[in-house]
Structure 1
Amino acid sequence: MERRRFTREELYGLIAILLVILLIVILLKLYRNEETTPANNQVQTSLQDLSNFEEQLKKDSLAWVRQHPHWSSEKFTTKLFPFDPNTASYETFMALGFAPWQARNALKYRSKGGRWKSVEHFSHLYGLRTKDFERLRPYIIIHQDSNECTQSKRDSIRRTHVEKYAPGTKIDINEADTNALKKIPGIGAYYAGKIVRYRERLGGFVSKQQLKEIDGLPDNVEQWFFIEKFIPNQIHINKVSFKQLIRHPYFNYEQTKAIINHIRLNGPIKNWEELRFLGVFTKNELDRLFPYISFS
């Protein structure tokens, strides 16, 4: 059977097709290279730096443990109390019985962009023994907004165009979801989420001025909001647990402990006067608590 030979025109056509395919391959490769933006490169570099830093911490921590085999954090702990490792200070770590190098490691880890996402995740702190972690576990609290740096970086990478409100627009501060909040000039996904989480912890806003309690919001952001007649979610102070009470933004550790101990030793707190006589609240602190507390 005689082999068919290509004509000159067919050869030219075949070459043209091959050139087109080669051009498409080159364009696809260039497009993929452009997709790796400087921001993505920066994040990948940061993640690699964090990984290298974690590995160095591991080596340093293991070396310290070998040199101090008899270290016991219990000897240096006066009391245990709730803490968020993503926001705790050096002094807080030391008060909880951490070794100085452990406290520094935790702060250095955070300074590199590291965040603990759950209670169990904190057990990965290099040099923290299982025995010590189990002792601390009931007191570890990971607040949602403690991962704000990581989330802020993600927002900067994934930021998409959102049509903003025209001047004079007002929305209900207690009804707006994150999509509505992102339409306010100066508010992106990160701060929209922060407003919603703070509102949930409060039990609802009773004043636009409470927005000033959220760090980082634009000046005069309250001009975009109104508050309808609103009854916030109240805390039944005689029925909540320690962990539930301290989660509210208006209670600190000492105040929460005083309330829980008083109820345990003396029974329910009956009114505001009895709460005031605990001696752990200023007048301003009691005033701002007024809409949020129920004694029944």
Structure 2
Amino acid sequence: MGNPLKEFLFFSRGERRGILVLIAGIVLLFLSGYFYTLLHDRRELSEEEKREQTAALREYDGFIRSVHRPARTPLHDKGQYAAHPEEVAVPVPFDPNRADSITLRRAGLPAWIARNILRYRSKGGRFRKTENFRKVYGLTEEQYRTLAPYIYFTAEDSVRETASLYRLPQAGKDSIYKYPAGTVLDLNRADTAELKRIPGIGSGTARLIAGYRQRLGGFYRIEQLQDIHLDYQRLQEWFTVAPSEVRRINLNRTGTERLRHHPYINFYQAKAFTEYRKKRGKLHSLKPFALYEEFTEADLERIGHYVCFE
């Protein structure tokens, strides 16, 4: 009995020719496409085609840039991440006599106003008190009122202001009375008028303390004055702190925008809180976030003083 597979695969001479012709036709079809593309690419494009190609490449580049956002940059001293690239500038404490252009931009000033300040300083100009900052060319009154609480002066820049304030009232002169040694104020309740009566604290520093206290929701310890570059050791004899005065943020009701404006919570941490709440429900503590790369142990410790879970 013959092999049925051999009989099935047997082709006559005419059939073999037909198969070869079919294969040759398929090869020629593929090669023709290749040669057409090669010749078409070598053809010089018209002006209209060049414009269309340029527009398409520009649109593609824009899409790629929108997909590849800048990576988060760790802040080595705090173990946190840099602010979100698109978030609105939030004022930060700064010394107008020493701040560089980056610090001035972070404070919320436009680049051209920052350049005006640097140019003024390069010509020998100095800011002696907070009110002088109002005269910066291009600065609006609204911008000045927003930034005034965050302006401070280092010791050598504020000697004149401090010396002029550190005196007892004199007849016929407008002066500020300073508290005697042994006076103690509640750091969370003292207004700017009371703060200015502490020896060594002028108008700018008083506004800086009050402004930062408002953003925090209150101080829970005197050492927090370091956050705004103040020497807490020199001031601690004048203040007491009541942690019960701190205003807390409800993590189960507050949105990302409100959370990220707290000085101790950055954008990525605020996002972690709200995303966790959406996926797993009501929060009861900060313990789950100990495993998140966005938080360090120090972050969770200080944030814990400002949040609640009602």
TM-score by length of 1: 0.52
Name the aligned partner's letter for residue 84 of structure 1: A
Pick the aligned partner of 1:83 from 75, 88, 95: 88
> Match for residue 276 of structure 1?
290
- Superposed CA deviations along residues 48-92 of structure 1, whole A, max 9, x for unmatched, are xxxxxxxxxxxxxxxxxxxxxxx9996756375313276697599
| CA distance in structure 2 between the aligned counterparts of 1:186 and 1:273, rounded to whole angstroms | 41
Tell me which amino acid in the other structure corresponds to 1:263: R
Task: Give the superposed CA RMSD.
Answer: 4.2
Contact 1:84 1:143 in 2 (8 A): no
Contact 2:223 2:232 in 1 (8 A): no
Instruction: Give 2:151's match in structure 1, choosing from 148, 151, 155.
Output: 148
Deviation, 1:270, is: 2.9
Cα displacement string for residues 203-237 of structure 1 (whole angstroms, at most 9, x for unaligned residues)? 22121111222224575112101134624211101
Equivalence for 2:197: 183
In 2, Cα distance between equivalents of 1:117 and 1:254: 32
d(CA) in 1 for partners of 2:263 and 2:183? Answer: 29
Structure 1: give runs of 5+ residues left out of the alignment. 1-70, 94-102, 122-141
Q: Which amino acid aligns with 1:182?
A: K
Once the two structures are TM-superposed, the CA of residue 177 in structure 1 deviates from its matched residue by: 0.8
- In structure 1, give the amino acid aligned to 2:88: F
Partners of 1:225 and 1:92 lie apart in 2 by 31
- 1:131-168 per-residue CA deviation (whole Å, 9 max, x = no partner) reads xxxxxxxxxxx965576279x99x96x97621111112
Classify the secondary structure of the residue corresponding to 1:167: coil
> Any conservation in 2 of the 1:234–1:294 contact (CA below 8 Å)?
yes
Once the two structures are TM-superposed, the CA of residue 253 in structure 1 deviates from its matched residue by: 2.2
Identity among equivalent positions (%) equals 26
Which digits, 9 at most, give the CA deviation of each residue in 1:32-56, with x for residues without a partner? xxxxxxxxxxxxxxxxxxxxxxxxx
SS of equivalent residue, structure 1 residue 220: helix
Normalization by structure 2: what TM-score?
A: 0.50
Bigger shift: residues 282-291 or 72-81: 72-81
Query: What is residue 271 of structure 2 aligned with on the other side?
Result: 257
Q: Would you say 1:108 and 2:111 are equivalent positions?
A: no
CA distance in structure 1 between the partners assigned to 2:103 and 2:208 by the alignment: 27
Aligned-residue offset at 1:247: 1.8
Q: How does 1:1-296 map to 2 (within 5 A)?
A: 78=69, 80-84=85-89, 105=112, 107-109=114-116, 111=118, 113=136, 115=139, 144=147, 148=151, 161-216=175-230, 220-228=234-242, 230-296=244-310
Q: Name the aligned partner's letter for residue 186 of structure 2.
A: D
Helix, strand or coil for the counterpart of 1:164? coil
Q: What letter is aligned with 1:199?
A: R
The answer (yes or no) to whether the contact 1:242–1:260 under 8 Å persists in 2 is yes
**Structure 2: gaps spanning 5 or more residues:** 1-57, 71-84, 93-99, 121-135, 166-173
Partner SS state of residue 236, structure 2: helix
